[in-house]
Structure 1
Amino acid sequence: MMNSTAKKYAKFDTNDPLIVKDRVIEALRSPNATFLPNGSSSNSYQIITDMNRVIGTKGQTSVKVVVDKNGNIWTAYPVK
């Protein structure tokens, strides 16, 4: 389950797991989603989507989702 309890990492502006889940789904379905390789790994990809609104505790407006080649979500967090 993705949540926002980490102290030094980017956090969503809510701790409600259902809202976080909805935001990740919205980001993945968005026509604005950008699909990129995840570093040098050929087994994972990053999807970055500008949500056009603040979704992070530090003013972040985009979501980064890292998925494996089978589409399983590894992590998701807000980015600028």
Structure 2
Amino acid sequence: MAYVITSLCAGTRDGACLQVCPKDCIHDAGAQFVIDPEECIDCGACAVACPVGAVFDEADLPAEHRAAPDLNRAFFR
């Protein structure tokens, strides 16, 4: 998975990421949105559209959000 949605999404859930995703790989997980790692094409459109900066390339995740990839993946198991 190249892009991941962090907990910064929780409480805001703007939905701009949903509107720009060309593969519809962003899903509502209740508290926040999550990205399906099997469907994501790594385009980065969601990261640009997110008004709260909740979407990161997995390689660039801040230390406080290192658990985000596991949380995103767990939703799709």
Whose strand fraction is larger, Structure 1's or Structure 2's?
A: 1
Whose helix fraction is larger, Structure 1's or Structure 2's?
A: 2
TM-score strictly above 0.5 = no
Smaller-chain TM-score range?
A: under 0.3
TM (norm. structure 1) is: 0.25
